[in-house]
Amino acid sequence: MAAIDGKQELISRLQKDILLWQGFRLTENLQEKVGLGAIEKAFPNGVFPVGSIHEFVSMSREDAAASSGFIGGLLAALMQRGGVCLWISTAQVLFPPSIKAFGVKQPDHILFVHMDREKDVLWAMEEALKCSGITAVIAELQGLNFVQSRRLQLAVEKSRVTGFVLRHNPRTLDSTACVARWRIRPIESILDEGVPGVGFPRWEVELLKVRNGNPGKWQIEWSAEGFVLQVQRKQSKTRQSKERKLG
């Protein structure tokens, strides 16, 4: 029995070493989550990979806005312990105060950096990723090749800063060194019965590629409680309906 436990421990340690060599940075506490629920099970060890580069692909302005909102929700979790975030772009498309709607308690800790050229955005991101005092860096780019993405990934291997690359209308989708490639699309909001107005933001979240993980597609909503999977919402509405009938 002891021999079996020893082998399992050795295999587990080797798996973690391989993930580190391939660019994954596991959190010190494997129970630490970013609020994505079942989506996090798609990643190795069921943990969202911080200290890595995530690529987001958007083919329209609506997709880009949805991606920004989704990242805002992730930042709310990543910045709970403090730190600052850099958002780098050539054009200020995002309305800065809107990020507070996605749970970021200190939006003034997000610094928006404007650059004249896209290659300057890439340079600024690489340099910022080397600073361990920064929690996350977001850069809006169109093009990103394997060599460029590899430089970004190498930059975070010591700093453990998390990087997000928002690619708007990319000409090609070649392989990159990013640990994950996402596509976020907006979908119709759902209003509760008898409640007027606009519902919570809802997105179709597609994990196109993930290293050593399982790609998938989910529907998720951002509410006052944070990220809520559509399945969870349906279950909650079913319980509420039953309670009304019993009452």
pTM of the model: 0.80
CATH, range 42-246? 3.40.50.300
Predicted pLDDT at 242: 42
Determine how many CB atoms are found less than 10 A away from the CB of residue 142. Answer: 13
CB 213 within 8 A of CB 44: yes
Determine how many CB atoms are found less than 10 A away from the CB of residue 201. Answer: 20
Q: What is the mean pLDDT of residues 28-44?
A: 76
Predicted pLDDT at 3: 58
Measuring CA to CA, which residue among 88, 76, 225 is closest to residue 166? 88
Crossing angle (nearest 10°) for helices 118-129 and 146-159 = 30
Look up residue 100 and give its two tokens: 């507070």
Least reliable range by pLDDT among 162-171, 182-191, 221-230, 238-247? 238-247
112-141 residue pLDDT tens: 999 999 999 999 999 999 999 999 999 999
Look up residue 28 and give its two tokens: 């010190």
With the C-alpha atoms ordered 245, 189, 87, 158, is the resulting torsion angle positive or negative? Answer: positive
Percentage, residues of the chain above pLDDT 70:
78
Confidence of residue 188 (pLDDT cuts 50, 70, 90): confident
- 214-229: b or e for each residue (b if 16 or more CB lie within 10 Å)? eeeebbbbbeeebbbb
- Phi then psi for residue 24, to 5 deg, are -80, 140
Confidence of residue 244 (pLDDT cuts 50, 70, 90): very low
206 forms beta bridges with: 183, 217
Domain ranges in the chain are: 42-246
CB 232 within 8 A of CB 238: no
From residue 194, how far is each of 12, 187, 191, 244, 246 by CA, in Å?
A: 52, 21, 8, 14, 19
Whether the pLDDT of residue 239 is over 50: the answer is: no
